[in-house]
Amino acid sequence: MMHPKTLAALLTLAAAAIQLAAAQVRCKTPAPKVALAPTKRADTGDSQMLTGFFPYGQQKGCLALTGLKGAPSWSYCRPGYMFLTRPVAGGDIYFISNTTSTDYTAQEMNLAGDILNSITEASANSQLATLGQQSIIDFNHEALPLPNGYTALIAHNERLYTNVQGPGTVDILGDEVLVLDANWNIVWTWNAFDFLPVSRPAVLGETCKPCPQIDLIGCCPITLAAQANDWLHSNALSYDSTDGNLVISIRNQDWIVKIAYENGTGDGHLVWTLGYQGGFIDRVKELTGGRGVDIVYDPIGAQVTDESLRCLAWSGRLLILGFLGGGPTNIRSNYLLIKGIDTIGVRIGGLNEANPELAIANMKALIELAAQGKLRPRISHRFPLAQAAEAMQAVIDRKVIGKAVLIG
């Protein structure tokens, strides 16, 4: 079943193509193979298909509107690559084009072949520099019209990290969301490097090669190394009219994430994460009836710290104990102000050095609470002393939730 908005846009395209007549079949497209022709029982209400063709074995990229048997009623071709994103209500088409690895352009075109709006990679990077934002290396996969006449794009960016997602220097390919106003100028950006856990590699370990090695297809271009980790590979955006936020599909993380766009006023934080090993904010709010918790003990850092702050109730306290998730995060001071939150660094070694009397008193109090049964550490695994190596491996494999105890 096709989404109603997509169907409406395709029907508009079909009507427009009929009005333009057969003269608009202006170029030969690859002949589609109809594996199963529609029968009398088929739903032929969705009678048109809009297809984009990569130029495999040919010199031009093509778009075509065809019937269910593959006959085109409209087609458009041009030199280089054309990546179809979606039809737009009113009879227009959004697509991404390029002829080299450095001249990507996002465009809106009508069925007469007139370019109505466009933004080049070079223009986008000039605007991003003015805004103090990271440059991009392409547009990819998505151009989404928004209800107010703005447009949202997905673009690739990349950064070098040390001992993150691998040993030594690692080139990591990321994503950036750009929102354009009605004149196709950038007015809002979201950089995945600022909000998602860079320490978490692609689920299947996907990588990218530079464009010349893969003939301008795949996840290129990359510019900083001979190979990059294809960390995210986001491929679709959706707009949620109930709260004005954007939802982004992140293929290589097996995630769908809602980001705080808030019709252009949002700060880009993650509203929720759905998918494999996603976030925990919604679950915490569910367990506490929407109130949040009073104290968060955070040894993870990175993205977990940001989520932890948003899990706290009024006048809550965040205890920072370390950065097992790959590094510290930038604490958002607006969270501290709005909810009256205290953020405290907790380091036992530092307390022992700075105030040994207080450190001893704390330890005595902890022992007394444990003896009274008021402190009950979670023990998920128990091992005989002879299996110390197995216990350590269980910790490394992240099978331990809480403590693993060796019994002698």
Asked if 16 and 25 touch (Cβ cutoff 8 Å), the reply is no
Mean pLDDT of the 75-99 span? 86
% the chain with pLDDT above 90 = 42
Residue 23 has pLDDT above 60, yes or no: no
pLDDT of the residue at 22: 41
Give the pLDDT confidence of 317-330 residue by residue, as tens digits.
999 988 776 667 77
pLDDT band at 46 (very low <50, low <70, confident <90, very high): low
For the cut 60, the answer to whether the pLDDT of residue 352 exceeds it is yes
> Which 3-state string (H, E, C) describes the chain?
CCCHHHHHHHHHHHHHHHHHCHHHECCCCCCCCCCCCCCCCCCCCCCCEEEEECCCCCCEEEEEEECCCCCEEEEEEEECEEEEEEEECCCEEEEEEECCCCCCEEEEEECCCCEEEEEEHHHHHHHHHHHCCCCCCEEEEEEEECCCCCEEEEEEEEEEEECCCCCCEEEEEEEEEEEECCCCCEEEEEEHHHHCCCCCCCCCCCEECCHHHHCCCCCCCCCCCCCEEECCCEEEEEEECCCCEEEEEEHHHCEEEEECCHHHCCCCCEEEEEECCCCCHHHHHHHCCCCCEEEEEECCEHHHHHHHHHHEEEEEEEEECCCCCCECCCCCHHHHHHHCCEEEECCHHHHHHHCHHHHHHHHHHHHHHHHCCCCCCCEEEEEEHHHHHHHHHHHHCCCCCCEEEEEC
Q: Which residues of 36-53 are buried (b: 16+ CB within 10 A; e: fewer)?
A: eeeeeeeeeeeebebbbb
Across all residues in the chain, what is the average pLDDT?
84
Q: What pLDDT score was predicted for residue 32? A: 67
Average pLDDT over residues 301-315: 83
Q: Give me the percent of the chain exceeding a pLDDT of 70.
A: 85
Q: Which two tokens stand for residue 28?
A: 């030969």
CA 116/CA 304 separation, integer angstroms: 43
Q: Distance (Å, rounded) from C-alpha 354 to C-alpha 348?
A: 10
Model confidence at 196: pLDDT above 50 = yes
Bridging pattern class, strands 379-384 and 403-407: parallel
Give per-residue pLDDT as tens, 145-188.
999 999 999 999 999 999 999 999 999 999 999 999 999 999 99
Which pLDDT score is estimated for 397? 76
Residue 41 has pLDDT above 50, yes or no: yes
Main-chain dihedrals φ then ψ at residue 382, nearest 5 degrees: -125, 130
- Whether residue 44 has pLDDT greater than 70: no
The more confident residue out of 2 and 246 is 246
Nearest to 313 by CA among 290, 338, 293: 293
Specify the pLDDT at position 306: 79
For 369-381, what is each residue's pLDDT tens digit?
Answer: 988 988 888 888 9
3-state SS string for 122-169: HHHHHHHHHHCCCCCCEEEEEEEECCCCCEEEEEEEEEEEECCCCCCE
Q: In the prediction, which pLDDT does 218 show? A: 53
Confidence grade of residue 385 (pLDDT, cut at 50, 70, 90): very high
What is the dihedral sign for C-alpha 195, 200, 205, 208?
Answer: positive
| Contact between 233 and 138 (Cβ < 8 Å) | no
pLDDT at 71: 78
Higher pLDDT, residue 11 or 90: 90
Question: Higher-confidence residue: 396 or 118?
Answer: 118
Burial label, 260 (beta-carbon count in 10 A; 0-12, 13-18, 19+): middle
pTM of the model as a whole: 0.65
Q: Comparing 85-94, 110-119, 221-230, 382-391, which segment has the lowest mean pLDDT?
A: 85-94
Give the per-residue pLDDT at 20: 45
Contact 308/270 with Cβ under 8 angstroms? no
286's tokens: 């569910």
